[in-house]
Amino acid sequence: MTRTLTAESVACAYERERPVFTSVGVTVRSGELVGFAGPNGSGKSTLLRVLCGLLKPRAGRVTLDGRPLSSFRGRERARVIAFLPQAVNPAFALNVFEVVCLGRYPHLAGFGAMRPHDKDVAERCLRATETEELRARDFMTLSGGERQRVLLASILAQEPDLLLLDEPTSALDIHHQIEIFALLERLAHKGYGIAVVTHDLNLAARFCDRLVILAKGRDVVASGAPEVVLTPTILSDAYRAPIRVATHPETGAPLVWAEAPSRAEEDAQ
Ligand SMILES: Nc1ncnc2c1ncn2[C@@H]1O[C@H](COP(=O)(O)OP(=O)(O)OP(=O)(O)O)[C@@H](O)[C@H]1O
Ligand SMILES: [Mg+2]
């Protein structure tokens, strides 16, 4: 089913006098991979929390297929939207397979027993994230990157239409980073709508259909196709630091890096 998740003129503040943003509008539709980037503290995680209904905006509205998100009940919403937070600390001692199975909860009836189909889905998600070999391990003993891949498997097992992922590759090695982004691209082609927060502008440039750039205290400062958004002017302004952009010699995507401070600047500080 085609889904449209929209935030319109959304304002958020954890404390009344310190707004994170005052009027943000974004849309995530089935079939597209949308990247969210911007400096630390610019409100990316806050925006994802609003989009999945965990945080109530102070103003504006969030709708799913034109209906207020707040009118969806928990399970109903969980069958459509899955959210992977930036940091997760499970409260129970679970092995990897059990963590992945937790993702099936919105689909389980009555007493929550897993049917063969649910186990098949969990197995498929382990394979998709290359975590099959970890299945019997205690989740808490995994490395940071292994945990991240298992948590992604768990929300894929939820079989939602929309995925909201907060820095899903921040702890991954370069092989697994690109594997996960390529997986997200495939999922978007299959019809999932995906919002992904990332600090890796080069992966975003290569895989995302659209990018949204937030800046601290300034809401959304740019949005559009990666080639349109990833310019030295837009990025240097958003990060308040000199950012350079070239073209990747193989993929043709924008190639972004931050300039290192010169010795003279460092000595002057
Ligand atoms: N629970 C909270 N209580 C008070 N302030 C908060 C809370 N969570 C976030 N903030 C503040 O809101 C602002 C936006 O935070 P948010 O986590 O959305 O930023 P971010 O763009 O995701 O940053 P990062 O790149 O570091 O993950 C920051 O100034 C942060 O300090
Ligand atoms: Mg964040």
* C-beta of 257 in contact with ligand 1 (< 6 A): no
Strand partners, 95: 138
Separation CA 50–CA 53 (nearest Å)? 5
Say if residue 92's pLDDT is above 90.
no
Structure token digits, residue 31: 């079939």
* C-beta of 46 in contact with ligand 1 (< 6 A): yes
For ligand 1, atom 28, which residue shows the shortest CA distance? 41
Residue 264 banded pLDDT, cuts 50, 70, 90: low
Q: Over the stretch 194-244, which tens digit does the pLDDT of each residue have?
A: 999 999 999 999 999 999 999 999 999 999 999 999 999 999 999 999 999
Q: Over the stretch 13-53, which tens digit does the pLDDT of each residue have?
A: 999 889 999 999 999 999 999 999 999 999 999 999 999 99
| CA of 48 relative to ligand 2 center, distance in Å | 9
pLDDT mean across residues, the chain: 93
Say if residue 129's pLDDT is above 80.
yes
> How high is the pLDDT of residue 266?
66
For ligand 1, what atom is nearest to the CA of residue 49? 18
DSSP code per residue over 83-111:
EE-SS---SS--BHHHHHHHTTGGG--TT
Q: What are the structural domains of the chain?
A: 4-225 (3.40.50.300)
Residue 114 banded pLDDT, cuts 50, 70, 90: confident
Separation CA 67–CA 4 (nearest Å)? 10
Name the residue with tokens 């990833």.
230
* C-beta of 89 in contact with ligand 1 (< 6 A): no
Annotate 155-196 with three-state secondary structure.
HHHCCCCEEEEECCCCCCCHHHHHHHHHHHHHHHHHCCEEEE
Q: In terms of DSSP bridges, do strands 33-37 and 210-214 run parallel, antiparallel, or are they unpaired?
A: parallel
